[in-house]
Amino acid sequence: QVQLQESGPGLVKPSQTLSLTCTVSGGSISDSGSYWSWIRQLPRKGLEWIGFISHTGYTFYNPSLKSRVGISADTSKSQFSLRLHSVTAADTAVYFCAKENGKTYFFENWGQGTQVTVSS
């Protein structure tokens, strides 16, 4: 069973860059057909998909965030990372990493989530 764990700062200042890492165990981020995603949940609101990186390193982002987002992977550490630039209070959310099925695009395994607050 694949397990995912998010890590990173819980507090980020406005205009700075939010950086989170997801560590994967019980599976490899290089497994053929695997997609690794970031999703966030805004306060008292629903879920918003941020983007994914595939096992080949291909990335794809939510168009509404594309100009500020970067997702990368370190296969040697079995980790993938999120960088969100120029953050504002509107980026305050719980951030989840997840394993995405690459055929019909559902999220079969999730990390527990990490709260990130944007505040000075």
Partner 1 sequence: SYVLTQPLSVSEAPGQTARISCGGDNLGSKSVHWYQQRPGQAPMLVVYDDSDRPSGITERFSGSKSGNTATLTIMRVEAGDEADYYCQVWDVTSDVVFGGGTKLTVL
| Residue 107 lies near partner 1 (rule: CB under 8 A) | yes
Check residue 63 for interaction with partner 1 (CB under 8 A): yes
Site residues (CB under 8 A) for partner 1, limited to 20-59: 37, 46-49
Q: Which is nearer to partner 1, 88 or 104 (CB)?
A: 104
The nearest distance, CB 47 to partner 1, in angstroms, is 4
**Among 30, 86, 105, 117, contact with partner 1 (rule: CB under 8 A):** 105
101 binds partner 1 (CB under 8 A): yes
Q: Does 68 help bind partner 1 (rule: CB under 8 A)?
A: no
In terms of phi and psi (left: phi > 0; alpha: psi -120 to 50; beta: otherwise), the region of 10 is alpha
- Contact set with partner 1 (CB under 8 A): 37, 46-49, 60, 62-63, 96, 101, 104-108, 110-113
